[in-house]
Amino acid sequence: MAMQLNKVVPFGRSLDEYRQMFALSESDLARNIIGVGDGPASFNAEMHALGKRVVSIDPLFRFSADDIEWRFYAVVDAIIEQVKATPDDWVWTYHRSPEHLRQNRINVLARFIADYEAGKTAGRYVAGELPQLGFRNDQFNLALCSHFLFLYSDHFTYEFHRMAILDMLRVAREVRVFPLMTLMLQPSPYVGPLIEELQALGYMAQIQTVQYQLQRGGNQMLCVKR
Ligand SMILES: C[S@@+](CC[C@H](N)C(=O)[O-])C[C@H]1O[C@@H](n2cnc3c(N)ncnc32)[C@H](O)[C@@H]1O
């Protein structure tokens, strides 16, 4: 289904946040990585500046830099107000306050926008989407998916999640997904059944607690290996 820009919250995270969310080691960062649903994260841009290659895939990449930037500024203040109105839902350790969060998201967007056109030309930003990524089997070594799967469990079915993770496991031998809770700060009901199903299919699947936390209780990642 074609993505409508006015339904998207184009908030992105930095390389440092990706490192913490996915417990990425230096050797992980040297792997052949696909970022699934990276949106306007600066992960790809910052990795590129370090001489490392990431391919990011997201339906958002059908839009221009101007469109993405326009959409970000159309929603950022309302979202920060929502955050301020729900103080118990957030942990202010990594980001120190709602204003600090806002500034960090602006910085990340600027870094992404500055890299976007060149990255598209170089094939580092690819328009596409789960549950079918359209890359070759084993084209990558590690697939990362942050703030899309599980978070939107109310909008996407269990079957969608199952197909999405199996397709990531087709293109990469290891998949990491963060966080494992929904937008309503509830543990996603899909995580347990999906781990059981993946283990029954012969994959190694385990939950790992990580350093990063912004949504209260959202400090767990799912790691699945072939
Ligand atoms: C909240 S953003 C997270 C961006 C980035 N992963 C991060 O954590 O900074 C969610 C992203 O999921 C993307 N998305 C929506 N539907 C998708 C799909 N079917 N497959 C892959 N990504 C999708 C959106 O375009 C958006 O960029």
Domain CATH for 194? 3.40.50.150
- Take atom 13 of ligand 1 and give the residue whose Cα is closest: 37
pLDDT of amino acid 104: 97
Alpha carbon of 60 to ligand 1 centroid (Å) = 8
pLDDT of amino acid 160: 98
Residues within a 6 A CB radius of ligand 1: 8-13, 36-39, 41, 58-60, 129-130, 146-148
Spatial separation of the C-alpha atoms in residues 206 and 220, rounded to whole Å: 10
- Give the 3-state secondary structure of residue 19: helix
Phi, psi of 129 (to 5 degrees): -160, 155
Q: How many CA atoms lie within 13 A of 80 on its CB side?
A: 17
- Give which of 169, 138, 144 is closest to 54, Cα–Cα: 144
Counting every residue, how long is the chain?
226
- Take atom 26 of ligand 1 and give the residue whose Cα is closest: 39
Spatial separation of the C-alpha atoms in residues 7 and 64, rounded to whole Å: 16
- Look at the chain and report how many structural domains it folds into: 1
Structural domain that includes position 127: 5-225
pLDDT of amino acid 2: 61
pLDDT of amino acid 224: 98
Spatial separation of the C-alpha atoms in residues 86 and 83, rounded to whole Å: 5
Residues 6+ apart with CB under 8 A from 3: 59, 60, 62, 129
Q: Determine contact, residues 114/44, Cβ cutoff 8 Å.
A: no
Q: List the pLDDT tens digit at each of the 226 positions of the chain.
A: 466 766 778 899 999 999 999 999 999 999 999 999 999 999 999 999 999 999 999 999 999 999 999 999 999 999 999 999 999 999 999 999 999 999 999 999 999 999 999 999 999 999 999 999 999 999 999 999 999 999 999 999 999 999 999 999 999 999 999 999 999 999 999 999 999 999 999 999 999 999 999 999 999 999 999 9
Assessment of whether the complete model's pTM goes beyond 0.95: yes
